[in-house]
């Protein structure tokens, strides 16, 4: 084993080579663990963000479902019309119905014209008037359902004029007034949902703000020492931002995942809208792929909001140290 060389008498010892400065960019590649990874505050923040993300995802998903249901309603209303024929003395209803169906089918853009039978009308009025209706004693109007061809717009004014001239007691209902009320209701519900979503995101930002301040207070000595020895403010702020982004992403994905599971269960439980006992208001609760993407976008947005809020909070604290 070779012996270590010793300096001879009168000969100075060799100096150690000077320490090389860190390479450019090394400060950016390494982030100190300024924020404890498994702290109670971090766990509490994940729970808070998960709850906020769950509420925000439910709101975003509900807005998507309402908008999609409103669009489907409007599409169905625009593609369906109704001819109503009022009964009168000495009026041959069967002849009037046959004439109205003939006029409707001859109109360009009308795909089909199907009259309601006595059994259909009785089944339609059964929840209000009960069974065994006497059509001869009650002035019950007869209905004919028209369906518009895809991509075509019939001349409704001409159709209504011809019906009123050739079929006494007949009128055309395009459901325009009901469609306008439906549009206003859908827009109001969507606006309310967006307002609730904004409030939830604002509450999330406040929660992150206070949690970041607590983390900064718990690591005040480390932050101040790094600041005094010359560490850049951005370097310190990035360490907090990375940690809080992970916490925000974890909580956001947990809350968003729970919301997705809830919507899937509600979709399976809603069943078929054509079956008895199903939802009358919106039918089958079927969320589109865009709705699930919006929930994922909410989770990512909350994670980014958490990172940005923590960074701004740390930078504000460091500016007070200057």
Average pLDDT of 102-108?
Answer: 91
Cα(196)–Cα(266) distance, rounded to whole angstroms?
A: 21
Helix (H, G, I), strand (E, B) or coil at 227: helix
Q: Over the Cα atoms of the chain, what is R_g?
A: 36
Cα(221)–Cα(242) distance, rounded to whole angstroms?
A: 20
Cα(231)–Cα(214) distance, rounded to whole angstroms?
A: 21
Question: What would the pLDDT profile of 234-284 be if each residue is shown by its tens digit?
Answer: 888 888 888 888 888 998 899 999 999 998 888 787 655 444 333 444 455
306 contact partners, CB below 8 Å, separation of at least 6:
49, 204, 208, 244, 245, 247, 248, 249, 251, 252
Q: Answer whether residue 32 shows pLDDT above 70.
A: no
Question: What would the pLDDT profile of 40-94 be if each residue is shown by its tens digit?
Answer: 667 777 888 888 889 888 888 888 888 777 777 777 777 888 999 988 888 888 8
Q: How many residues does the chain have?
A: 322
Q: Answer whether residue 309 shows pLDDT above 60.
A: yes
User: What pLDDT was estimated at residue 26?
Assistant: 41
């Amino acid at each position: 084993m070779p012996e270590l060389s010793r300096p001879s008498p009168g000969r100075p010892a060799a100096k150690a080579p000077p320490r090389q400065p860190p390479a450019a960019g090394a400060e950016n590649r390494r982030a100190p663990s300024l924020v404890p990874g498994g702290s109670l505050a971090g766990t509490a923040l994940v729970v808070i963000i998960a709850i906020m993300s769950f509420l925000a995802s439910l709101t975003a998903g509900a807005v998507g479902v309402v908008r999609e249901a409103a669009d489907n309603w409007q599409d169905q209303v625009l593609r369906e019309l109704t001819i109503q024929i009022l009964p009168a003395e000495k009026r041959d209803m069967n002849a009037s119905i046959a004439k109205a169906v003939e006029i409707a089918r001859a109109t360009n853009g009308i795909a089909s014209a199907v009259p309601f039978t006595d059994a259909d009308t009785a089944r339609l009025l059964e929840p209000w008037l009960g069974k065994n209706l006497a059509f001869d004693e009650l002035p019950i109007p007869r209905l004919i359902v028209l369906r518009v061809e895809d991509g075509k717009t019939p001349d409704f004014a001409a159709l209504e004029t011809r019906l009123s001239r050739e079929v006494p007691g007949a009128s055309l209902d395009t459901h325009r007034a009901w469609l306008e009320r439906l549009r206003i209701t859908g827009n109001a519900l969507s606006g309310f949902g967006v307002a609730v979503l904004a409030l939830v995101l604002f509450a999330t930002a406040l929660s992150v703000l206070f949690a970041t301040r607590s983390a900064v207070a718990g690591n005040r000595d480390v932050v101040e020492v790094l600041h005094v020895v010359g560490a850049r403010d951005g370097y310190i702020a990035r360490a907090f931002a990375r940690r809080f982004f992970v916490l925000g992403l974890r909580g956001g994905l947990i809350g968003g995942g729970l919301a997705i599971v809830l919507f899937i269960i509600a979709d399976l439980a809603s069943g078929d809208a054509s079956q008895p006992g199903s939802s009358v208001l919106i039918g089958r609760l079927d969320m589109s792929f865009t709705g699930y993407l919006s929930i994922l976008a909410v989770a990512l947005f909350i994670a980014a909001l958490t990172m940005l809020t923590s960074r701004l909070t740390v930078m504000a604290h460091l500016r007070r140290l200057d």
